[in-house]
């Protein structure tokens, strides 16, 4: 007999909730989007149009009062609300997915993870770019030894958005966790650590380049990994000509790839996992492996954001591992904090034990 889908409550229907979480939940057979929390009337109408079977409520407290009506909560609200909303889910005994970054500070993140562990409530973090096709391809090449011993990893999330836009992401209030490093920088750092392991030293250059900007919009972070690899990471809103998305240098070969994973754009345009060509890039966008006088295209693996929620469902039903260890997400926030400190002081900082 088929199991009934797990019932999901989604907190927030802005960019993260509308473009990423709601479509991916809806595309996961083992899950059903049951409730969405939003106070915005326009967004409430968007929910009703896109997900007519989901009830819309104005406050998360309505979900906490009837926890037996849900099996999972997803926090997709602004960064300042991640910790309090996740704590509400934990107190209600509801497993919870939190969008990245887990918390505005590593201290708050550690406290949340400890609270969930003590309560025995599953907690994981939506580090979806672990399922980008280019990242999956790089991981496969590195693990297969195709580059030899890797010496440097370069990774960029660059954009050309020279005008400041209204919204909490542009706020300098510490609790908002705004700015480039807490946004795309969280993905860059997470991917680097996933590929090359713990970090021993951090150097950073963090700037505000746009007129009127209150938060960092242009950043470079250099990580020294315990294994010897150096990761050079860029995130910027003011890049008029984009560099390679990733370049990995080894003592045998290098790999370079350009362009963003297509899944976000597809989700924005109404695409869904399972549709023809989902997560695939055209062959003319394949990365190149080898040396300058001997390059060959390497097919880019298809991206698969849907795997995140499939693993969440499997973990809750069968007791398997959650897709992202929340301690990893705490480490990312700790490294972001060290990067800000290193940039402010103009020094390279050692990384203390993170766990």
CATH at residue 46: 3.40.50.720
pLDDT above 70: residue 155: yes
Residues 38 and 133 in one domain: no
Predicted pLDDT of residue 67: 96
> Which strand (E) or helix (H) includes residue 8?
strand 6-11
pLDDT band at 172 (very low <50, low <70, confident <90, very high): confident
In a domain, 73, yes or no: yes
pLDDT above 80: residue 1: no
113-121: average pLDDT: 98
Domain boundary (106, 126, 146) is at 126
Q: Are 147 and 254 in contact (CB under 8 A)?
A: yes
Predicted pLDDT of residue 194: 98
In a domain, 310, yes or no: no
> Per DSSP, which regions of 64-149 are E strands?
72-75, 96-99, 123-126
**CA-to-CA dists, residue 170 to 159, 178, 201, 208, 217, angstroms:** 15, 6, 28, 11, 9
The tally of domains found in the chain comes to 2
pLDDT above 90: residue 5: yes
Q: What residues are paired with 35 via a beta bridge?
A: 9, 55
pLDDT band at 170 (very low <50, low <70, confident <90, very high): confident
200-212: average pLDDT: 96
> Which strand (E) or helix (H) includes residue 57?
strand 55-57
325-331: average pLDDT: 98
Residues 95 and 210 in one domain: no
Average pLDDT in the chain: 96
Residues 104 and 176 in one domain: no
256-261: average pLDDT: 98
pLDDT above 80: residue 2: no
pLDDT above 90: residue 183: yes
């Amino acid at each position: 007999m088929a199991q009934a889908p797990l019932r999901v409550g989604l907190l927030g229907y802005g960019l993260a909730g509308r473009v990423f979480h709601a479509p991916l939940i809806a595309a996961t057979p083992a899950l059903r989007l049951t409730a969405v929390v939003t106070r915005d009337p326009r967004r409430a109408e968007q929910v009703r149009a896109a997900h007519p079977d989901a009830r819309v409520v104005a406050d998360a407290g309505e979900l906490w009062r009837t926890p037996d009506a849900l099996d999972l909560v997803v926090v997709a609200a602004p960064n300042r609300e991640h910790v309090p909303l996740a704590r509400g889910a934990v107190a209600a005994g509801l497993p919870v997915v939190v969008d990245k970054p887990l918390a505005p500070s590593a201290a708050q993140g550690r406290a949340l993870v400890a609270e969930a562990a003590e309560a025995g409530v599953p907690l994981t973090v939506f580090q979806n770019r672990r399922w980008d096709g280019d990242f999956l391809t790089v991981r496969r090449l590195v693990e297969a030894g195709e580059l030899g011993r890797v010496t440097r990893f370069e990774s960029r999330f660059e954009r050309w958005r020279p005008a400041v836009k209204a919204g909490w992401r542009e706020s300098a209030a510490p609790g908002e966790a705004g700015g480039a490093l807490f946004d795309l920088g969280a993905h860059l750092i997470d991917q680097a650590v996933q590929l090359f392991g713990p970090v021993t030293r951090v150097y950073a250059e963090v700037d505000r380049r746009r007129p009127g900007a209150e938060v960092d919009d242009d950043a470079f972070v250099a990580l020294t990994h315990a294994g010897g690899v150096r990761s050079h990471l860029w995130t910027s809103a003011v890049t008029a000509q984009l560099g390679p998305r990733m370049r990995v240098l080894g003592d045998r070969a290098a790999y370079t790839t350009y362009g963003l994973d297509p899944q976000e754009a597809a989700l924005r345009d109404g695409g869904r996992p399972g549709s023809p060509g989902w997560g695939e890039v055209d062959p003319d966008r394949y990365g190149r492996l080898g040396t300058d006088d001997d390059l060959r295209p390497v097919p880019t693996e298809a991206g698969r954001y849907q795997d995140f929620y499939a693993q969440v469902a499997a973990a809750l039903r069968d007791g398997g591992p959650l897709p992202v260890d929340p301690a990893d997400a705490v480490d990312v926030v700790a490294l972001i904090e060290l990067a800000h400190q290193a940039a402010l002081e103009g020094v390279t900082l050692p990384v203390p034990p993170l766990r």
